[in-house]
């Protein structure tokens, strides 16, 4: 039994936030629990493995030492972690207050872990509406605009593992606002990035029906890449 956490966002019935072994944890009445833990991804962050990650390949920007990425659908931050490890400066937007609290706690704990500290130092979390923020960037100074906008509007994640299934079961219980795919994609393109990278199930439909400039596919997911200058 963990320590109940107060001063946190309201939760649907049957869910609570507790401090378990030092980690902010989402707990359900039926015994499921989950917390953010970036140490699970350390193997993926090794340079030899990182270069083979589909997302890193899809988001690659040539000629920029530390390109800027805008993750419009941060979730629990795994994709942003990969980009940060690859040298991106990543701004993460998460609309849901509970998920944002779990992610912020995971980032705080990772910052105290020697192998992860330099990576999460390149990650900045904002709890808010990414579509509004992207629209504001459309008129911002060029130096503030992202090189890459990442969209992953599919929820929950579709990786096949017991831990992800447990996480999906819990996160599905949170009341998340419906995302207008067209509105999100239009806002991403309007922010004038070099590319918009869209994560999709391997056989999923195109986001808002827009044909990408190119695709990078794996066994379970694919990345549709839109280069705004070419559309």
User: Tell me, what's the pLDDT at 177?
Assistant: 57
Residue 23, phi then psi, degrees to nearest 5? -110, 135
Is the confidence at residue 156, as pLDDT, over 50?
Answer: no
d(CA 73, CA 149): 10
Give the pLDDT confidence score for residue 53 in this predicted structure.
97
Note whether 59 and 193 are within 8 A (CB).
no
Please, how many CA atoms are within 13 Å of residue 125, restricted to the half-sphere of its CB? 24
pLDDT at 50: 96
Output 164 or 70, whichever has higher pLDDT. Answer: 70
* pLDDT score recorded for residue 231: 66
Q: Where are the domains of the chain?
A: 36-157+175-230
**What percentage of the chain exceeds 90 in pLDDT?**
73
What's the mean pLDDT in 197-209?
A: 93
pLDDT at 10: 77
Global pTM value? 0.90
Which of the 8 DSSP states describes residue 204?
P
The CATH number that domain 36-157+175-230 falls under is 3.40.50.150
- Higher-confidence residue of 195 and 178: namely 195
- pLDDT score recorded for residue 205: 92
- Cβ burial of 13 (10 Å; 0-12, 13-18, 19+) is exposed
Report whether pLDDT(175) > 80.
no
Average pLDDT, the chain: 89
Q: How many CB atoms lie within 10 A of CB 31?
A: 6
């Amino acid at each position: 039994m963990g320590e109940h956490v107060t001063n946190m966002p309201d939760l649907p019935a049957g869910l609570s936030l507790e401090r378990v072994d030092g980690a902010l944890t989402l707990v359900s009445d039926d015994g499921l629990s989950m917390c953010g833990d970036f140490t699970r991804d350390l193997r993926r962050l090794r340079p030899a493995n990182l270069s083979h990650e589909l997302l890193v390949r899809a988001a690659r920007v040539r000629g920029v030492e530390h390109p800027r990425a805008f993750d419009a659908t941060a979730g629990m931050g795994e994709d942003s972690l990969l980009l940060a490890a690859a040298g991106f400066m990543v701004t993460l937007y998460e609309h849901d207050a509970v998920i944002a609290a779990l992610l912020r706690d995971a980032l705080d704990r990772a910052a105290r872990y020697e192998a992860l500290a330099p990576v999460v130092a390149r990650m900045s979390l904002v709890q808010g509406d990414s579509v509004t923020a992207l629209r504001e960037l459309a008129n911002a100074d060029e130096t503030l605009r992202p090189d890459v906008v990442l969209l992953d509007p599919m929820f929950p994640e579709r990786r096949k593992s017991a831990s992800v299934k447990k996480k999906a079961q819990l996160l599905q219980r949170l009341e998340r606002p419906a995302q207008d795919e067209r509105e999100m994609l239009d806002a991403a393109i309007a922010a004038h990035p070099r590319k918009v990278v869209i994560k999709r199930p391997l056989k999923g439909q195109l986001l808002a029906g827009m044909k990408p400039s190119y695709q990078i596919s794996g066994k379970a997911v694919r990345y549709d890449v839109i280069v705004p200058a070419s559309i």
